[in-house]
Structure 1
Amino acid sequence: MELSVDQFIDGLLTKEAAERPSDSAKPEDIKLELPPWYDEKLFNKGRSFYWSNCFSLATSMFIGLIAVFSIPSILRVLVGSQRSSSCFTAYRRYLSTMLHTTAWFQHELRPPTESWKSLEAVRTRHARASRASCLRGGGPVSQRDIALTQFGFLGFAVLRPTKFGLRGFSEDDWEAYNHFWRVIGYMIGLEDRYNICRKNIHETRQVLQILLDRVFTPCLTNVPEHFEHMSRVMIDGLWSVNPTVNTEAALYYTKYMANVPGYVYTEEERIAFQIKLKGLLKDQPIDCGIRTEDLIEKPAIEGLPDTPLPLLYYKDYDVLDNVPTYKNLTWFERYKLNSNTLFMQLYSTNLGRIYFNLNYLWSLLLMKYFPYLAFYRFGIKQSFVNIFVEDPKDETKPKPNSEYQKVRILPWYKQILAFFW
């Protein structure tokens, strides 16, 4: 029986979904099968859609990955695995993730292609990570965890396509992209009743919007402990393959995309947010603070800190440079943030799309065969990633979020490379 959107959401956000393992089989017994509703033509059209927009869609996945770190249960498993808590291990783990994802788009989905082998490896590792997490008392990698991770791969691109320069595409194109990720979800162990990619793109958009409002916005507004560390070491690690990325700008843009209250960076958005605050003040004096909680939905998942959120003041939004979240950015971080908007405007043109896609493809070649910045940081041998070899572990302990509220100093060589790359 097909579930309605409301029934699906109600099921995904239950305790059962949070406790049901992503795989009931032992890692060594896992066997992949195509879903009964698999449409090869539609799946391959989804692959083509990706390569036509690879720069933009890869960017949306990067932002989505940061957002996924805000889910307490997922973050707990990542911290416990000890495979991404340092710059080096994060580089290895998330470059491997990028190369796995690329393999799914590059190769036909049939055995024994690299795509098929990659999905087998990912599913097996999830099962092993789930068992290890349970042994540590941290709970399994659940069906809900996999579903919310699935949001990271396509959620922002589907919900806010113009922010990524994705214009002029038909519903058929998005149906194909939706089908692609629906199949991938099935292949890595998601049961149909928890697969956020529904039977059509219309329902998928509804599901994604509800998850954004009820899960990702609240989680990114009040992030769990170690979010700052795990997201920052990931960004720092991947700087070795993409020196254009800036940590503060990336974190700001992620919260902006997730509608976290107070994260604006255009005059239009500043004005709209100030009007919204004015409406919430009603008959109160203009200098009264508005509770952040009044601007978001109550989190639909457990595990967030029980800490008071800051008050928001109308007067702080009189001028963009006075907006509390924005004024904390340095001039360089503002430049990186605003250049992203420019790039996506250019990307919406035919020539811009060609240029940035070629740039991404060149970067992809460097990631796989000549990650020269990683050579300098980690050594030549350690810089190459084999996606079929388990990621390394280390004993690095994640720092608390409070450690990242101190003054930030970006190394000079990173500023130069990020500015001119």
Structure 2
Amino acid sequence: MDVSVEEFVDRLLSDEAYQEPSDSVKVEEVETQMRLPEWFDEKKYNQGRRFFSDFCFAFSMVNVLGLIGVYSVPTILAVLVGSRRSNSPYTAYKRYSSTFMHITTWLKHELKPGTVSWKSLYTVRCRHVQAGRAARLKGKGTVSQRDLAITLFSGFGFAFLKPDKFSIRQIEEGDWEAGIHFWRVIGYMIGLQDMYNICRESIEETREILQRIVDRVFTPCLENVPEYFEHLSHVTVDGLQAINSGLEKSSLLYWTRYIADVPGYIYTEKERIALQDKLRTHLKGKSPDTGVESRAIIEKSAIKGLPDIPSRTLYLHDFNSLETAPAYKALPIIGKYKLAIIYITFAFYSTSIGRVLLNLQYRWTLFIGTYLPYVAMWRYGVKNAFINLFKESPYDNTTPKPNSEYYRTQPPEPWYKFLLALFW
């Protein structure tokens, strides 16, 4: 790496990187650009595939949290909303079920010209070119090298920074390096230039880059989300429930902010104590009742376009226990229940038998979602339930709701829906 980590991240998050499109060619010319990078190592790439397959259940959760995190980036959100392909539960189901199935395709099949994996990457790359062109024509931004790199983060970034939270560990020597190589190749194949590729040869440099992206993008953006973040997050979870009924909105939004180190989002006693220590440091001897502005303890967003709203004030006494922490306290009962299930599930996943059983459960869920999506059939009709990787998801004319609609006090769900959410 010929520049320091900070210089690399500065370049990645610059206006220049945002002005650089994901591809400089037309859709019909993309095929001529599809080739393996010179640094491609087939053995290491296949080890990376095996590593992600060995922890497929955990990485599926990472993908969901990463997707929600990406919605907090204003320039990416503008393109997604403007595309009108994921503004309702149905179109979100079609779009993001397809996304997760593309990733599964890359893991299952070798990467060579003519393979289904190659065709999948070609399809994804073409869609980025089309989406970028459409966004520019509508004045909604573009699909840039910068945003492509940030989106790549969503596939693996949180797992590589906090593997213990997902009970991911190295099984064979070099697994982490192989995993980085896998995503570095994927980034290259979908059009990411080497100078902007967040996956480097060294796992240490890569982790430093990922952490700086969290510090300068995800933490501040999730602290002060752009308009329509809540809408896309809600309809996406609603849509994906057709494949995994265990997903729940409030707990996933909390867990995403928690993983991204948004101030005030804690879950363990160690994190509670650490946050109080940080608040005491920033108070600098002032009265605890003074409070600390949440944005005073995080970096300013490197991405423009966030709303200008007052910062939250964090008070020391609010974090005397998890139950009194404002963000956790505001969760509905089902959200707190699902958070506990997530925590317990990954504790079980840390055992060998837990990993085997939960991976099997994930593969079964994916199999049913692919070949017999009965929930989606019931919700959207038999014809609309099936996912075709190589067919673009449909448009919809749903008008996204502003964030304020989701911040209002919501009526309680019927008792039967609450009970259903507890057990299914």
Check whether TM > 0.5. yes
Query: Which of the numbers 352, 355, 366 marks the counterpart of 2:354?
Result: 352
Q: Tell me the residue number matched to 2:219.
A: 217
Cα distance, 1:414 vs structure 2: 4.8
Structure 2 unpaired stretches of 5+? none
Q: Tell me the residue number matched to 1:317.
A: 319
Q: Tell me the residue number matched to 2:141.
A: 139
SS in 2 for 1:166: coil
Cα distance, 1:276 vs structure 2: 1.7
Q: How does 1:195-206 map to 2 (within 5 A)?
A: 195-206=197-208
* Shift in CA distance, 333/13, structure 1 to aligned 2, threshold 3 Å: same
Q: Distance in 2 between matches of 1:326 and 1:295?
A: 19
* Shift in CA distance, 411/209, structure 1 to aligned 2, threshold 3 Å: farther
Q: Tell me the residue number matched to 1:343.
A: 345
CA RMSD, Structure 1 to Structure 2 (Å)? 1.3
Q: Tell me the residue number matched to 1:21.
A: 21
Q: Distance in 2 between matches of 1:91 and 1:42?
A: 33
Query: Which of the numbers 413, 418, 423 marks the counterpart of 1:420?
Result: 423
Number of corresponding residues:
421
Structure 1 unpaired stretches of 5+? none
Query: Which of the numbers 96, 99, 107 marks the counterpart of 1:97?
Result: 99
Percent identical pairs in the alignment equals 53
Q: Distance in 1 between matches of 2:173 and 2:248?
A: 33
Q: Distance in 2 between matches of 1:109 and 1:4?
A: 31
Kindly indicate whether the alpha-carbon contact (under 8 Å) linking 1:243 and 1:417 is maintained by their aligned counterparts in 2: no
Q: Tell me the residue number matched to 1:304.
A: 306
Cα distance, 1:160 vs structure 2: 0.1
SS in 2 for 1:287: helix
- Which deviates more, 293-302 or 271-280? 271-280
Q: Distance in 1 between matches of 2:7 and 2:420?
A: 49
Q: Distance in 2 between matches of 1:407 and 1:365?
A: 38
Q: Tell me the residue number matched to 1:7.
A: 7
Q: Distance in 2 between matches of 1:140 and 1:168?
A: 37
Q: Tell me the residue number matched to 2:81.
A: 79
Q: Distance in 2 between matches of 1:280 and 1:3?
A: 33
Kindly indicate whether the alpha-carbon contact (under 8 Å) linking 1:46 and 1:178 is maintained by their aligned counterparts in 2: yes
Output the amino acid matched with 1:13. Answer: L
Q: How does 1:189-338 map to 2 (within 5 A)?
A: 189-338=191-340
* Shift in CA distance, 24/411, structure 1 to aligned 2, threshold 3 Å: farther
- Residues 17-51 of structure 1 deviation map (CA, whole Å, 9 limit, x = unaligned): 01110000101110211011000000000000011
SS in 1 for 2:174: helix
- Which deviates more, 36-45 or 315-324? 315-324
Kindly indicate whether the alpha-carbon contact (under 8 Å) linking 1:3 and 1:193 is maintained by their aligned counterparts in 2: no
- Does 1:390 pair with 2:388? no
- Residues 162-185 of structure 1 deviation map (CA, whole Å, 9 limit, x = unaligned): 000113546610000000000000
Structure-2-length-normalised TM-score:
0.97
Q: Distance in 2 between matches of 1:87 and 1:217?
A: 26
Cα distance, 1:420 vs structure 2: 2.1
Q: Distance in 1 between matches of 2:341 and 2:291?
A: 32
Q: Tell me the residue number matched to 1:30.
A: 30
Kindly indicate whether the alpha-carbon contact (under 8 Å) linking 1:90 and 1:233 is maintained by their aligned counterparts in 2: yes
Kindly indicate whether the alpha-carbon contact (under 8 Å) linking 2:250 and 2:332 is maintained by their aligned counterparts in 1: no
SS in 2 for 1:153: coil
Cα distance, 1:111 vs structure 2: 1.9
Kindly indicate whether the alpha-carbon contact (under 8 Å) linking 2:237 and 2:247 is maintained by their aligned counterparts in 1: yes
Output the amino acid matched with 1:190. Answer: L
Output the amino acid matched with 2:360. Answer: L
Structure-1-length-normalised TM-score:
0.97
- Which deviates more, 306-315 or 409-418? 409-418
Query: Which of the numbers 47, 50, 64 marks the counterpart of 2:49?
Result: 47
Cα distance, 1:417 vs structure 2: 4.1
Cα distance, 1:154 vs structure 2: 0.8
Query: Which of the numbers 362, 370, 373 marks the counterpart of 1:371?
Result: 373
- Residues 53-94 of structure 1 deviation map (CA, whole Å, 9 limit, x = unaligned): 110111111111110110100000000000000111001000
Q: Distance in 2 between matches of 1:367 and 1:226?
A: 28
* Shift in CA distance, 309/176, structure 1 to aligned 2, threshold 3 Å: same
Kindly indicate whether the alpha-carbon contact (under 8 Å) linking 1:229 and 1:400 is maintained by their aligned counterparts in 2: yes
Cα distance, 1:339 vs structure 2: 1.3
Cα distance, 1:412 vs structure 2: 5.1
Q: Distance in 2 between matches of 1:412 and 1:104?
A: 42
Cα distance, 1:286 vs structure 2: 1.6
Cα distance, 1:418 vs structure 2: 3.5
Output the amino acid matched with 1:110. Answer: K
Output the amino acid matched with 1:30. Answer: V
- Which deviates more, 386-395 or 405-414? 405-414
